[in-house]
Structure 1
């Protein structure tokens, strides 16, 4: 502690695009500490930290686009947002500051999956559960529901069992939020994206989606 306070040493995470373990471990999972869990209130505090950080990162997008152009002469910029973006914005509010900022500087593209994709995500998560961000109202509601249905006290919850259960619940909860966000941009099907093998294929797919959005609705 004294070394840290005197700036004699510092701690730095090795977080990368390929390795998000430092973030996942810090966010943690609620439940019994014997199984690697943390108290629910501490979990909520870290969730709130994640919410603020994700919003700040999203609002940095215009600046990073500008830097990419000025420093690296990049003509194109892709902001690969996390799935939890729908939880940190209000897609039903046309004045949402994050979505307004993003839509003014980038084209929002929803890659829409089907039921098979959903089941694949659930299976993948079940095999290797990881911490996620949840909307606070949803999280508290599901935590209360889980305790009641399983007849458990907070200190008795197996953290992996809980996050496996809430993940499938979260996917259903997020679907209408993604659909509302799609009104801010365009939608392409995941199966179509999978068939895009190069830049030309992908650009054509985006062009088709833009044309479909601009086309007048049939009377």
Structure 2
């Protein structure tokens, strides 16, 4: 039997999606989920709803405490804080991650930024290690198939044991961006710079280079949005190499343009089987 035939005939299909945020992972998950027999496991949702929930709430409460009126209400328990993370609204996670730079522009001190990055890293690792557990739970609920909609920073975990675990339990599918798609992602980042997770080595190198190029002495002088816009093309270049390496070793690759041409779950299944 070929891998493609094995996948097509499998009674319990299990896949992990790999690729940049915005490349189409959630689009694929929603298309394939139209069959109604797929359990959609969102890595980012799990991170925000479980592993970082307390930190996210503490961050919101800390922001609210800067307002004296709200601070009193929080302290006497007249109001409480909660975080409403959903599959379609991950803003609480972004707000927690934040951006490094000038505090007058909403930037975080570099030490606090690195602390939050580290917490996110550990949360993502915990979440991905839970995939086998959630596969079992999904089957107990009557779902035949399972899709792990992982975050764009999955490639940054650099944990061979974890990738072996995911590969043993799921088919890892890398959604490779076209040059046009890469350009669109970069333009989107310039128009709306969003908080990101960065590999520590990549981040330290990038901060150093940004300071040098802009004749700045301290991270507190950095414009948060300007740094995100400047670093994003470099982040894509760095991650694309990591995605390819993981896919070549543990899974297969489909093209983002081909995925966006799919209009049904059957189209997606056929695309994956063709890649195999």
Q: Which TM-score bucket, shorter chain as reference? A: 0.7 to 0.9
Could you give the per-residue CA deviations for residues 185-210 of structure 1, whole angstroms, max 9, x where no partner exists? 01111111112211111111111111
Q: Quick one: distance in 2 between partners of 1:2 and 1:123?
A: 43
Q: Tell me if 1:26 matches 2:26.
A: no
1:9 positional shift: 7.2
Q: Quick one: distance in 2 between partners of 1:10 and 1:69?
A: 36
Q: Tell me if 1:156 matches 2:225.
A: no
Relative to the length of structure 2, the TM-score reads: 0.70
Q: Tell me if 1:119 matches 2:183.
A: yes
Q: Quick one: distance in 2 between partners of 1:106 and 1:2?
A: 50
Greater strand share, 1 or 2? 2
Q: CA RMSD in A?
A: 2.0
Give the one of 156, 161, 164 matched to 1:97.
161
| Moved >6 Å (runs of 4+) | 1-9
Contiguous gaps of at least 5 residues in structure 1: 91-95, 211-219
Which position in structure 2 is the counterpart of 1:84? 153
Give the one of 183, 195, 201 matched to 2:261.
195
Give the one of 128, 133, 145 matched to 2:197.
133
Distance 1:49 1:208, change over 3 A: same
Which position in structure 1 is the counterpart of 2:275? 209
Query: How many aligned positions are there?
Result: 204
Contiguous gaps of at least 5 residues in structure 2: 1-70
1:5 positional shift: 9.7
Q: Quick one: distance in 1 between partners of 2:79 and 2:131?
A: 32
Of 104-113 and 2-11, deviating more is: 2-11
Q: Quick one: distance in 1 between partners of 2:261 and 2:149?
A: 19
User: Relative contact order (alpha carbons < 8 A, sep ≥ 6): 1 or 2 greater?
Assistant: 2
Relative to the length of structure 1, the TM-score reads: 0.87
Of 201-210 and 113-122, deviating more is: 201-210
